[in-house]
Structure 1
Amino acid sequence: MAIWRFGLGAPTSGGMTPALSADRLDRFARHIVLPEVGGAGQARIMGAHVVLVGVGGIGAPALQYLAGAGVGRLTLIDDDVVEPSNLQRQTIFTLADVGQSKAEAAASWVDRFDPALAVEARRLRIRRDNAAALVSGADVVLDGSDNFATRLAVSDACVAAAVPLTSAALGRFQGQVANFAGHRPGEACYRCFVGDAFDADDCDTCAAQGVLGAMVGMVGTFGAMAVLRVLLEGVASLGDPQWGQLHVLDGLRPGLRTMRIAHDPACPACGHGSETDG
């Protein structure tokens, strides 16, 4: 099921971003005055298409800041419904949304927050057989899904479609965020990181392990920041995607460490022929 809401300031079908009106200039003035973003960077953000896989614990806070940044087109993919237990961390939802589709409720939130944005809700589960069509045409995909089978299907589809992937995950008090560009020579993809062993639907759940709402928000907003770095690559100085660098956030004893994910030449998704180019 799909719902489209087109705003007045949404990107045109040709990918062009309209000139900023006075109210849009005022709305994004704090971005534009940043030398690391500037007018060109804001125009790029407003002309971008971001696909969010999952609008739950990670996707909900990420969506808030991507919409706040003015990302012109947002596609929201989630087959789940809002439950009362979600409200502890998925703060775009309210009691009135309980029982409703998360994707559709999140799209309604975007429409209320900024009617100028174009948003599509896709109430379905992304799988290996539909992932290619769902990520096609995106400038970047943010994956906040809760199982490895989905994450690997999304990663493989992104590599095949030459679409950058921002991966964000959470386990209790540890978050992980990384940008992957497995379609580029010598760069790792998500499958290089986890391998094939996790190609399954089983995964630890928030219900079983517990989750702190503020920690989820921290990882989601860090993921939104990573997406903006991808969008601004080559346009503004903030645009350093730091491909293949896994940022590990510790919420229990606050800290951040970064590790490099090596490209696997034997990776079935991105390994074939990539080393010969680089």
Structure 2
Amino acid sequence: MQLDLSENEIQRYSRHILLPEVGGTGQVALKNASVLVVGAGGLGAPAALYLAAAGVGRIGLVDDDVVELSNLQRQVLHTTRGVGRKKVDTAREQLAALNPEIVVEAWDMRLNASNAHDLVTRYDLVCDGCDNFATRYAVNAACVQAGKVLVSAAVQRFEGQLATFSPTTGGGCYNCLYPATDGQASGLSCGDAGVFGAVTGVMGTLQATQVLKQILGLGNTGAGELLMWDALRMRFTTMTLTADPACTVCGGGHGHG
């Protein structure tokens, strides 16, 4: 554990340090924190950028895709020069260029039920922005088993959702909110339904905000709530999450909900 900041770090994070709620102590907490970002796409890209800029000391990126031209409308970690390359490689380069003070670990793989627990246990918190339900369920199960906070976001067309699942707060787990069924697992992806690019930027940035607040213990971390955003109407709606006593993942006891 590192207990101080270098002169370069003090200058880099000066606007954070000026905040009484953060200060030098909070910035050191960010430096000592680690976050696993699942998916280096529309949500993971802005989330990872802001986590890196904020000084989260170790960021893991897990993704097995390559950059495609159609990604660049929203996946702001990647550039035209990166088309055809692995997303985790181009993303790691961009984050290192933004902030060389941090460590970025690239995991070139698809997170699944067989490797999720090993990956999740390496980090303090998990930020999930993947685009398929199979991975979401695997991430959720691993976080429940390991007792890790999961900040999960999703987008489709002009709408976004954000939820934080915590082992110490009521609200159950992701599977309580969206029980795994054959129909749910075959939901439309962005490639099928389309997505308004800037919506992913807003939701990914909200993810990063909630992760940083979790690390710092600031304000309403959003645990036990579902935030829904309708970009066309510019309306945010919040609903309280409740644990499902019949949940096959957390048994309804996750977070004592």
TM range (shorter): over 0.9
| Aligned residue among 220, 227, 230 for 1:240 | 220
Partner in structure 1 of residue 193 of structure 2: 209
In the TM superposition, what is the alpha-carbon distance from 1:187 to its structure 2 partner? 3.9
Change (3 A) 1:198 1:163: farther
In the TM superposition, what is the alpha-carbon distance from 1:272 to its structure 2 partner? 6.1
Query: Structure 1 length normalisation: TM-score?
Result: 0.87
In the TM superposition, what is the alpha-carbon distance from 1:116 to its structure 2 partner? 1.3
| Aligned residue among 184, 196, 201 for 2:180 | 196
Letter in 2 for 1:225: T
| Aligned residue among 117, 124, 135 for 2:102 | 117
Aligned partners of 2:163, 2:176: CA distance in 1, in Å? 12
In the TM superposition, what is the alpha-carbon distance from 1:24 to its structure 2 partner? 0.8
Letter in 2 for 1:98: V
Structure 1 runs of 4+ with >4 Å offset: 198-201, 272-275
Deviations 1:239-277 (A, max 9, x none): 5323111111111111211001101122121126669x6
Partner in structure 1 of residue 71 of structure 2: 86
Alignment of 1:147-162 (within 5 A): 147-162=132-147
Structure 2 gaps, min length 5? none
Q: Work out whether residues 148 and 199 of structure 1, in 8 Å CA contact, stay in contact via their aligned partners in 2.
A: no
Change (3 A) 1:201 1:32: same
Change (3 A) 1:88 1:185: closer
Alignment of 1:26-45 (within 5 A): 26-45=11-30
Aligned partners of 2:122, 2:207: CA distance in 1, in Å? 20
DSSP 3-state at the match of 1:146: coil
Change (3 A) 1:195 1:111: same
RMSD: 1.8
Structure 1 gaps, min length 5? 1-15
Letter in 1 for 2:203: V
Letter in 1 for 2:118: A
Aligned partners of 2:140, 2:239: CA distance in 1, in Å? 19
Partner in structure 1 of residue 153 of structure 2: 168
Aligned partners of 1:206, 1:32: CA distance in 2, in Å? 38
DSSP 3-state at the match of 1:170: strand
Letter in 2 for 1:81: V
Number of equivalent positions: 257
Q: Find out whether 1:99 has 2:84 as its counterpart.
A: yes
Aligned partners of 1:164, 1:208: CA distance in 2, in Å? 30
In the TM superposition, what is the alpha-carbon distance from 1:185 to its structure 2 partner? 6.7
